Chains A and B, each alone.
Chain A
């Protein structure tokens, strides 16, 4: 079984601060996705990274896929209360149906 470890598990910061969430594995993935989940809802896709070393930006969010495709990070600049939620990373392998999720990072941004 492939494992994805996310850190930190919980993060509470003030509005305007920067933060980074990490997703690490000893396994190689062909793609890695980041989701955000709000209470009572299903996860919603933020980004997919597929190439080692790839960096993608989504407004104040920056996603990076490690060169060896075993790890990824999510960096949020100038966090806002609207960023509050559960962030999940998920790894997949090409044409393989199995999907592995990290345990999630619960982010709270205080006004």
Chain B
């Protein structure tokens, strides 16, 4: 089944403790992206990747890192999480970076930083 898989689905952590949210897609998609979703703010793009070893900042990259060492995986790294990073996070992938190709979303990771 074609899908984007995020782990974990839920995470509670403490301020400053490094964490990684994994994202994997099995569709051989070139383009992958991370978003955060907060009430009343829609989805805001954190980072995106046009292909392996190619990453770039979205609108809200501060406090996050990503890597794209292989096509299927695009982990999101929070080196020193803070409470304002409490949010619902989504990973998405699409066949190409072109906006007319469908983006498939993972089921989300709800992160709480205390």
On whether A98 and B58 interact (CB within 8 A), knowing A31-B100, A42-B105, A45-B102, the answer reads yes
B74 within 8 A of A: no
Q: Is A22 an interface residue (CB 8 A)?
A: no
Of the candidates B49, B58, B92, which one forms a contact with A42 in the assembled complex, judged by CB atoms under 8 Å apart?
B92
Are A94 and B98 in contact, with the CB atoms below 8 A? Answer: yes
What distance in Å separates the Cβ of B31 from its nearest Cβ neighbour in chain A? 7
In the complex, the answer to whether A44 meets B50 with C-beta atoms within 8 Å is no
Complex: how many Å from CA A96 to CA B100? Answer: 11
A94 to chain B, nearest CB (A): 6
Check if B105 sits within 8 Å of A104, measured CB to CB.
no
Cα A91 to Cα B107 in complex, Å, equals 21
| Complex: chain B residue closest to A32, CB-CB | B99
Inside 8 A of A30's CB, which chain B residues have their CB?
A: 99-100
Instruction: Name the interface size band of chain A.
Output: 20 to 34
Tell me the smallest distance from the CB of B64 to a CB of chain A, in Å.
15
User: How many residues of chain B have a CB within 8 Å of chain A?
Assistant: 28
Q: Are the C-beta atoms of B50 and A97 separated by less than 8 Å?
A: yes
Interface residues of B in 86-107 (CB under 8 A from A): 90, 92, 97-100, 102-103, 105-107
The interface residues of chain A lying within 8 Å CB-to-CB of B41 are 103
A41 CB to nearest chain B CB (Å): 6
Does any Cβ of B come within 8 Å of A7's Cβ? Answer: no
Known: A31-B99, A43-B105, A97-B31. A1 touches B90 (CB 8 A): no
- A48 an interface residue at 8 Å Cβ cutoff? yes
Per-residue contact bits, chain A 67-105, to B (CB 8 Å; 1 contact, 0 not): 000000000000000000000101111111111111110
The answer to whether B100 and A48 have CB atoms under 8 Å apart is: yes
14 chain-A/chain-B pairs, Cβ below 8 angstroms: A6-B42, A30-B100, A31-B98, A40-B108, A42-B92, A42-B108, A43-B105, A97-B50, A97-B56, A99-B103, A101-B43, A101-B44, A103-B42, A104-B42
